[in-house]
Chain A
Amino acid sequence: MERHFDIELRSLKNELIKMAGFVEQSVAYAVEAIRAQDPNIAQTKFKQIFEVERKVNQAHKDVDDACVKLLALQQPLAADLRLIVAIIKMNSDLERMGDQAVNIAHNSERFLKLEPKQTMEDLVVMGDEVRTMVRGALDCFINRDGEMARKILALDDSIDEARNRIFSEMKTYLKTHPENIEHGFNVIFIARNLERIGDHATNIAEDVVFAITGEDIRHGGSKGV
């Protein structure tokens, strides 16, 4: 028996998936800009990020409005309640991911100095890992796959390691190239932005597990509701 509420929930999920699509696109532009290491291509990608950002912000408000309406009018319980609570939180994480992509665009405007080579390669690899993690977390939500969501969480460690490696490399590099301090900071900020996107993807994967099982796996805990 399908309830009218099921149709509204499906519509809400689709709204969030649309929002996620914008954010994923924005993150992809940011990573492509880093990979291209070409000022012209980068500028084009950054412009695209700013355009998508407007859509992300609107979707952010639309999803929140829809959630508040469903909470007020349907007074959901159990799995319905968990899904809406998870969507509210995922919506917030997605919006922050979009903001981090915008930050990458801001931080990158003056960073396109192709050195040191190893760090720039590491940044590209890190960007790809972040994209994989974002894609994976969103797939888990779309497919209601709690097991895969738990596996996605492990990817965050690799992203954190990449950030630490880049920090360390830049520290060493800047000791011998202090004139490049601004470039160095920008690279560090970008690594930090990418790492934060990974953290938000982690939150989404955790919310997927909560929505499906009611289990709260945040902060290493297994306490449910």
Chain B
Amino acid sequence: MSEVILETKKLVAGFGDLDAVKGIDLRFEKNSVTAIIGPSGCGKSTYIRCLNRLHEEVPGAYSSGEVLLNGENIQGLRVDPVAIRRRIGMVFQKPNPFPSLSIFDNVCVGLKLSGVRKSSVLKEVVETSLRAAALWDEVKDKLDAPGVSLSGGQQQRLCIARTLAVEPTVLLMDEPTSALDPISTAKIEELVTDLKKRVTIVIVTHNMQQAARISDRTAFFLLGDLIEFDDTSRLFTAPKQEQTERYITGRFG
């Protein structure tokens, strides 16, 4: 087994009286892509938002258990959640570039906030990040244009570039292509496969074919429980659990 970079132990999370995630143990291997699938309300988005402590930003949210990044628990008051989010970046369902910032500034905003001012450094990081996000060739001649002037698919890659600029260890993606057309979706999927050389990726998706295409391992969640976690090729061809079989063949309900 490869090196485990991120792990949850007995992770429970919810809102008010409702446990959306009910004690999940999962291990994410370095430079792998793990897909999390499951029907709406199964807890997959809540789970992924616990991984970089975004969940706690929601009023009434709670969580317990452990989230270990390189073996260190990142839960708790002693750990700065902002620092964690730099190491565990996130891309959301809808692209969310900063509306008032240029393409260039959208990419390097994280670096600037952390005090980097040197123009040559910023330029280099912007180009490297945009290249890694497979966007450089499309925007290199209009870096001063507003980020929101790009198409939806380009905006999503811009958000990926923004996340990559601070060199995260883990990249979380919460349904990153659900608002995109098939061509933009294909570009993001290609990108995911390329990016796993430099980051570990956890992706939540409703699109099972997408999970099958791009992930190495797949976790199936149902009503806050982890039902099955296996190699993607195994889970989509011969799942061990009846509930997984029923879900992925559309017999659920």
> Could you tell me if B253 and A81 are in contact, using CB atoms closer than 8 angstroms?
no
> Could you tell me if A81 and B250 are in contact, using CB atoms closer than 8 angstroms?
no
- Given A225-B233, A225-B234, A225-B237, CB of A78 within 8 Å of CB of B248: yes
Question: Which residue of chain B lies nearest to A216 when distances are taken between CB atoms in the complex?
Answer: B238
Min Cβ gap B227→A in Å is 14
Indicate whether B29 reaches chain A with its CB closer than 8 angstroms. no
Question: Which residue of chain B lies nearest to A80 when distances are taken between CB atoms in the complex?
Answer: B249
Q: A5 vs B250: C-alpha distance in the bound complex, in angstroms?
A: 10
Most buried by A among B212, B234, B245, B251: B251
Min Cβ gap A93→B in Å is 21
- Given A3-B250, A5-B250, CB of A77 within 8 Å of CB of B236: yes
Q: Which B residues are in CB contact (< 8 Å) with A72?
A: none
23 contacts between A and B (CB under 8 A): A1-B253, A3-B250, A75-B209, A76-B249, A77-B212, A77-B236, A77-B237, A77-B249, A78-B236, A78-B237, A78-B239, A78-B244, A78-B245, A78-B249, A79-B245, A79-B249, A80-B249, A81-B236, A82-B237, A82-B238, A213-B238, A214-B237, A225-B238
Indicate whether A224 reaches chain B with its CB closer than 8 angstroms. yes
Per the CB 8 Å criterion, the residue count for chain A at the interface is 15
Min Cβ gap A209→B in Å is 12
Q: A75 vs B237: C-alpha distance in the bound complex, in angstroms?
A: 12
Q: Which B residues are in CB contact (< 8 Å) with A213?
A: 238
Give A57-85 as 1s and 0s: 1 = Cβ < 8 Å from B's Cβ atoms. Answer: 00000000000000000011111111000
- Given A75-B209, A77-B212, A225-B233, CB of A214 within 8 Å of CB of B249: no
Q: Which B residues are in CB contact (< 8 Å) with A79?
A: 245, 249
Question: Which residue of chain B lies nearest to A224 when distances are taken between CB atoms in the complex?
Answer: B238
> Could you tell me if B238 and A214 are in contact, using CB atoms closer than 8 angstroms?
yes
> Could you tell me if A78 and B238 are in contact, using CB atoms closer than 8 angstroms?
yes
Min Cβ gap B43→A in Å is 22
Most buried by B among A5, A79, A224: A79
Give B191-231 as 1s and 0s: 1 = Cβ < 8 Å from A's Cβ atoms. Answer: 00000000000000000110010000000000000000000
Task: For chain A, residues 118 to 136, give those with C-beta under 8 angstroms from any C-beta of chain B.
Answer: none
- Given A82-B237, A225-B233, CB of A77 within 8 Å of CB of B248: yes
Q: Which A residues are in CB contact (< 8 Å) with B245?
A: 78-79
Q: Which B residues are in CB contact (< 8 Å) with A76?
A: 249
Per the CB 8 Å criterion, the residue count for chain B at the interface is 16
Q: Which A residues are in CB contact (< 8 Å) with B212?
A: 77
Query: Which of A's residues lie within 8 Å of B, judged by CB?
Result: 1, 3, 5, 75-82, 213-214, 224-225
Q: Which B residues are in CB contact (< 8 Å) with A214?
A: 237-238
Min Cβ gap A74→B in Å is 9
Most buried by A among B234, B237, B244, B248: B237
Q: Which B residues are in CB contact (< 8 Å) with A5?
A: 250
Q: Which A residues are in CB contact (< 8 Å) with B251?
A: 1, 3
> Could you tell me if B208 and A77 are in contact, using CB atoms closer than 8 angstroms?
yes
Q: Which A residues are in CB contact (< 8 Å) with B208?
A: 77
Q: Which A residues are in CB contact (< 8 Å) with B236?
A: 77-78, 81
Q: A5 vs B248: C-alpha distance in the bound complex, in angstroms?
A: 13
Most buried by A among B208, B212, B250: B250
* 5 tightest A-B CB contacts, nearest first: A214-B238, A225-B237, A77-B248, A77-B236, A225-B238
Q: A111 vs B195: C-alpha distance in the bound complex, in angstroms?
A: 67
Q: Which A residues are in CB contact (< 8 Å) with B249?
A: 76-80
Question: Which residue of chain A lies nearest to B212 when distances are taken between CB atoms in the complex?
Answer: A77
Q: Which B residues are in CB contact (< 8 Å) with A224?
A: 234, 238
Q: Which B residues are in CB contact (< 8 Å) with A78?
A: 236-239, 244-245, 248-249
Min Cβ gap B248→A in Å is 5
Q: A81 vs B238: C-alpha distance in the bound complex, in angstroms?
A: 9
Min Cβ gap B45→A in Å is 22
New A-B pairs, 4, CB < 8 Å, besides A1-B253, A225-B234 = A77-B248, A81-B236, A82-B237, A213-B238
Min Cβ gap B226→A in Å is 18
Q: A81 vs B234: C-alpha distance in the bound complex, in angstroms?
A: 12
Question: Which residue of chain B lies nearest to A2 when distances are taken between CB atoms in the complex?
Answer: B251
Q: Which A residues are in CB contact (< 8 Å) with B234?
A: 224-225
Q: A79 vs B208: C-alpha distance in the bound complex, in angstroms?
A: 15
Min Cβ gap B246→A in Å is 9
Q: A82 vs B239: C-alpha distance in the bound complex, in angstroms?
A: 11
